[in-house]
Structure 1
Amino acid sequence: MINVRKMALLAVFLFSLAACENDMQSIMQLDKGAAAVEEGVKIESFYSQYGRVRAKLTAPTMTRYLERPAYVEFNNGLKVLSYNDSLQVESTVTAKYGKYFENDDNVLLRDSVVVVNKEGKRLDCYELLWDAKKGRFFSDKDVRISTPTDTIYGTGLESNQDFSDYNIINPRGQVTVQDSTLQ
């Protein structure tokens, strides 16, 4: 009887080992899925070029997706301060949503996008694309630009990244033009 008990115990043990067997492919798939996303909170990131700080990004949360094409999402908003060589703020960009495409170095900003430069010019729009390689902003949506003297509306925009030189593709509204002969 003792042998039967030992055999039954051995059978239960072997059965439990077989029942707990994991498929290696399944484990690798689970691990791959878990490693494809990185998350962060209270983000503060600095961008430097040639040893000089060029920009500071802050955001409450960030999610980075490593699958191709890799991208980073800022679902709870972001703020970017751009600096000159003397670390003075050249422009400020805020938005409620941002998506950075790592492969092509483009940033999509959406929902309550505001750009303000050191001259006090302000851009308000729903969506804005920043091409970091070209150092330019683009939009095909409605825009509003406020300066110390005017407010201009339009659809579509191209601008340099410090917002000192911009072009509204289809402007609307009144614009005050200074007479250059009065100087």
Structure 2
Amino acid sequence: MEFDSKKAATENGVDIVTIFSQGGKVNAKLLAPTMERSLDKPSYVAFNNGLRVLMYNDSLGIESTLSAKKGKYLEAEGNVYLTDSVVVINKKGEKLNTNELNWDPKRKIFYSTKEVFITTPTDSLHGWGLEANEDFTEKKILKVSGPITVEDSTAVN
């Protein structure tokens, strides 16, 4: 009887498309093959078979893409928690790889306390912990590990 009551407290869906907007402006679109929504409190939506998120600028141009094998959206918080092979790529081709990433759509930031790898056209960065804006143009690794290339600001062009 207990198992049946838990089963009744979920909704399932396939071929999911969710639009995130704030202040009347679309800022992201989530695509997933499946979802399971728990109606128990606190309610959440689980994406256990992968998901992809497209983040847009004000003119609906794609600023960055995000993919993960698993994700959970906590409805009361409005936050998305991503795990397992998380990848973010911005329009400049900079790429983040990690196994756990949190996204706060209200504050338009990503954050993590886990190991992160960032690949840019000129560098490969590694460390633990990350804070970044939604389009991934501003990012900070909290504990950097390994060599970093720094541009010489005194060089004359």
**TM above 0.5, one fold?**
yes
Q: Take 2:32 and 2:138, find their aligned partners in 1: how far apart are those partners?
A: 27
Q: Secondary structure at the match of 1:180?
A: coil
User: Does the alignment pair 1:77 with 2:50?
Assistant: yes
Amino-acid identity (%):
54
Pairwise CA RMSD: 1.8
Unaligned runs of 5+ residues in structure 1 are 1-25
Flag the structure with more relative contact order, 1 or 2, with Cα contacts below 8 A and sequence separation at least 6.
2
1:146 to 119, 126, 133: 119
- Correspondence for 2:21: 48
Q: TM-score, normalised on structure 2?
A: 0.92
2:148 to 157, 168, 175: 175
Write out the 4+ residue segments of structure 1 that deviate beyond 6 Å after TM superposition: none
Q: Secondary structure at the match of 2:128?
A: strand
Deviations, residues 110-163 of structure 1 (Å, cap 9, x unaligned) = 000000111111100000111223221111111000001000000111111111
- Report the structure, 1 or 2, having the larger strand content: 2
- Correspondence for 2:80: 107
The one-letter amino acid of 1:133's match is K
Equivalent pairs, count: 156
- Larger Rg: 1 or 2? 1
- Report the structure, 1 or 2, having the larger helix content: 1
